[in-house]
Structure 1
Amino acid sequence: MDHMLEATTSPKTLSKLTLTVVAAGSLLSALDLFIVNIAFPSIRDSFPNASNQSLSWVLSAYSIVFAALLVPSGRMGDRFGRKNVFRAGLIVFAIASAGCAFAPSVELLIAARTLKGAGAALMIPSSIGLLLAAYPPSKHKLMVAIWAAIASVGAALGPVLGGILVHLDWRYIFLINLPIALPSILLCRFLHETPRGESAIPDVLGSLLFALGTACIVAALSYFHEWGLFSQKLWTITVLGGLMLGGFIYRCNTVSNPALNLEVFRNPTFSLATVGMLSFYTGFSMSILAGTLYLTQVWAWDPARAGIAYAIGPALAGTTSILSGRGKITPRTLTLLGSLIFVAASLWWITFLGDTPNFTIGFLPGFALSGIAAGMAQAGFLAGGTAVLSPQEYSAGSGVLNTSRQVGGALGIALLVALTGSARHGADFTSAFWVISVTSLAAAATSFAIRASGSGR
């Protein structure tokens, strides 16, 4: 039936249809990150007996599973067809969204968010493959720019929609996905399937070890203050996480179909770019949640008002990323400038933010700087890291860099929760802003190291 539908549809119409459906996946993924952040305080209020640490897993579980399955999902698209994998991702994402909306407990909400991360991981790698296959090479750069622009729209809409929907009920922030996902699932039947390769099924055990090991490290960071430095529980879970990550690395180096191709780390420039991406996004994820909590807890702003105010950061990040990709600034310069601008943003907050609401002077300049910094740094690390790889390594390298971004996001959320707890005053966020400065300086340092290595553009 699918083939009959494809045969009666013109190539031009199919291309536009592919862009529409793929854009829906990109929109859903970006929308989900920012819409959940702005609703975090309302979700917490619905579960008064849950700690901030346990609630942080509503955000972290998504990022960890996304990171663990991102590269294996790309290989599954090669083996089973990108259309099939993309459609499966949409279905999983839609089911998980409904599960989040109707979750009666924190535990089931976290479980649904975990499933949602798996759905997003299935969608994103396959979406790019479908989009590029639907257009001639001369239009590939434009299509990628459009794909990125749509993600930027989702990132900017997330806080606004989240703030409005939270007034009704925070559960609507998950139900809003269904009017986008369900029609897209139906439209997938019209898309052309990409050729299937002979890729082996990726190492499932390796992916599981990576997810569980990362989860253990995130848990150790989240509960550091509560358990104490010399707590047996803290060190047990830290060692367990280290052993699992060690097992993941061992399998990546020994099995024929590793979950992640670690060969790319033999290039020192790429390795430094990965560390830089991880460091930068650790701080960036801290700033996203910190900004939400500051507006709603310290300044006691209404979620709708906070969402509208918050939208400028994601909007600037998306716009700057697209402009950076099209400009002539070298990747190294982008990473250095982006990281240093982010340092300036965190120092601005330390200096000017207080308990008294002062959005124009206290919050907005720092948040605008953080958005610009994220757009520049993301483009720089992705371009600079992959520029030193061979064409055969490009896919693996891109997957590793995107995985490091998601892991950084999970680590940042854990750090922020550990440092701020149930913060109600501006001073409670000072240590978090200093940590953001340190992680941003670490990202900037990788730019200097990359230059010193003499590799790259």
Structure 2
Amino acid sequence: MTNLERRAAAAGASASPGPPPFTPPQGAGDPRAVFAVLALAVFVSTLDVFIVNIAVPAIQADFTDSTVAGVSWVLNAYAIVFAALLVPAGKLGDVVGRRRVFIAGLFAFGLGSALCAASPSLGFLIAARILQGAGAAAITPASLGLLLPSIPPRSRAAAIGVWSALGAVGAASGPSLGGLLTQVSWHWIFIVNVPLTAIVLAGAYRVLPEIRDPARPPLPDGLGTLVLIAAVSLATLGLVQGHAWNWDARVIGCFAAAVVLAAVFAARSRRHRAPVLELSIVRVPAFALSALSAALFSAAFSAMLLANVLFLTGTWHYSILRAGLALTPGPVAAAVCAPFAGRLAQRVGPGLVGGAGALLFGIGSGMWVAFIGAEPAYWSLFFPAMLVGGGGVGLALPAFTIAATATLAPQTLATGIGAQTMFRQIGSALGVAAFVAVFGTPTAATVIGAHDDVRWFMIAAAAGAALALVFIRRPGGADRHPAHRQRDQIGEEA
């Protein structure tokens, strides 16, 4: 054997078979194009959550005889439908095709946006927001289900990182962009979605593959979805109409009916082959505690978003644009702190990190109660409290997801994240409703006290969220799923 042959044989013997080459799904375009299309869709749907709050005073002023309670349904209708349809939409995509569900969601979101912009009445606007929420619920799970199979494994971590950052960018730009657009007209916060959605639709038809679950799972529980919508809507109605109905038998009836429907929903989830909520994951203590904490914190957070807009525009008489710019540092502080939350949670546990974030949020709210009055003092008082609270949001939100998924088996991660997002949206709807119930219809002499009452509610909800997180053990404990412990051990050895 020649020297050349011996070297070739040695090279062949020492070579180890590497991972199989990446093969994108049939019909997928360039991975960068796939990511761009899906990322733009998620950015638009995320932005819409934060951009509408700043327009609430303008919407109320445009529809004469409307009240804060009535306009609150513009926020709540979206949140309730989004919460109830999120998990079923993801399961429907596994059955009929994720690309098909994604495109249908885009069409519904774009059409809903156009109808919102053209709304001749408050009731019409609320109905259009329901269509928008249904579209967003279809976009969110289908987008991630289309992204990961279309990107090489070595690029997925970076793609998910950028993906998560887009949510922070949407949150941070929502108040200022919403203020700028509302300065022209509140209709523009919806008009801007239409061309963006059209761009995403054109790209979706060109570059997105069709992906289904080869196991052909059953269709999701449609009746259970309607029962959940009815239960949350009745609880929200009771809170929103409490003052108008003098907290009489009608309010009690709403709450009682909501409890009954919640029990019916739980019974259906126990029996149905593809329930809206997988009760098996709720029985995992860490998941149940994180879901409860996320719902409580989301209630406080959503109340804060609406309360601050009304405070700045109604009490300090800021313009919509100035209020939007004034509120931007809070989401920016959250975006800055969020990347540290994940790494810190791996060291000390998501319960401690999320609990600390919820407490910081409560401290920021307490600073508003203690120091903020009728006289504007933005830079000396409002701004520092907003930075403290925003930093708490940045620590808390990632910790909720880490805590929820740490004890779940890998095959239930997607279901767990979807369920936790559902609880967060339900908390958001109930938080806006609680704001209406607590705030009431104050006079000029009592408005500061009404805002302080709302802030006490925010403090109490944040404290409840922190308390629930305290009972979640740090990663690596006995309640952590073995697959996650093994993954962390491999990561530490590497």
Report TM bin, short chain. Answer: over 0.9
1:21 equivalent in structure 2: 37
Give the one of 324, 328, 347 matched to 1:307. Answer: 324
Normalised by the length of structure 2, the TM-score is 0.87
User: Deviation per CA, 1:142-201, whole angstroms, max 9, x where unpaired?
Assistant: 111111111211112211121111121111110011121111101101224243120211
Query: 1:88-167 residue pairs with structure 2 within 5 A?
Result: 88-167=104-183
- Secondary structure of 1:188's counterpart equals helix
Counterpart of 1:245, as a letter, is A
For 2:156 and 2:396, how far apart are their aligned partners in 1?
A: 22
For 2:67 and 2:380, how far apart are their aligned partners in 1?
A: 33
For 2:32 and 2:340, how far apart are their aligned partners in 1?
A: 24
For 2:37 and 2:129, how far apart are their aligned partners in 1?
A: 22
1:249 equivalent in structure 2: 266
**8 Å contact from structure 2 (residues 243, 440) kept in 1:** no
Instruction: Report the aligned-residue RMSD.
Output: 1.8
Shift of 1:454: 6.1
Shift of 1:422: 4.3
**8 Å contact from structure 1 (residues 29, 151) kept in 2:** no
- Secondary structure of 2:120's counterpart equals coil
Structure 2, unaligned runs of 5 or more? 1-24, 486-494
**8 Å contact from structure 1 (residues 19, 131) kept in 2:** yes
User: Deviation per CA, 1:416-438, whole angstroms, max 9, x where unpaired?
Assistant: 11111345532220111111111
Counterpart of 1:80, as a letter, is V
Shift of 1:410: 0.3
2:283 equivalent in structure 1: 266
1:379 equivalent in structure 2: 398
User: Deviation per CA, 1:27-49, whole angstroms, max 9, x where unpaired?
Assistant: 11121111110000000001121
Q: Structure 1 residues 439-448 or 186-195, which shifts more? A: 186-195
2:226 equivalent in structure 1: 208
Shift of 1:122: 0.3
User: Deviation per CA, 1:303-329, whole angstroms, max 9, x where unpaired?
Assistant: 111111111112222332233235544
For 1:233 and 1:180, how far apart are their aligned partners in 2?
A: 43
1:240 equivalent in structure 2: 257
- Secondary structure of 2:243's counterpart equals helix
**8 Å contact from structure 1 (residues 72, 260) kept in 2:** no
For 2:393 and 2:143, how far apart are their aligned partners in 1?
A: 23
For 2:427 and 2:433, how far apart are their aligned partners in 1?
A: 10
For 2:333 and 2:31, how far apart are their aligned partners in 1?
A: 29
User: Deviation per CA, 1:28-82, whole angstroms, max 9, x where unpaired?
Assistant: 1121111110000000001121222111100000000000001011111111221
Structure with larger Rg: 2
For 1:326 and 1:192, how far apart are their aligned partners in 2?
A: 33
2:432 equivalent in structure 1: 413
**Percentage of matched positions with identical amino acids:** 35
For 1:316 and 1:260, how far apart are their aligned partners in 2?
A: 33
1:429 equivalent in structure 2: 451
For 1:326 and 1:117, how far apart are their aligned partners in 2?
A: 32
For 1:269 and 1:149, how far apart are their aligned partners in 2?
A: 26
Give the one of 358, 364, 378 matched to 1:345. Answer: 364
For 1:23 and 1:434, how far apart are their aligned partners in 2?
A: 37
1:281 equivalent in structure 2: 298
- Secondary structure of 1:451's counterpart equals coil
- Secondary structure of 2:472's counterpart equals helix
Structure 1, unaligned runs of 5 or more? 1-5
**1:225 partnered with 2:243:** yes
Task: Flag as ranges the 4+ runs of structure 1 deviating above 6 A.
Answer: none
**8 Å contact from structure 2 (residues 357, 392) kept in 1:** yes
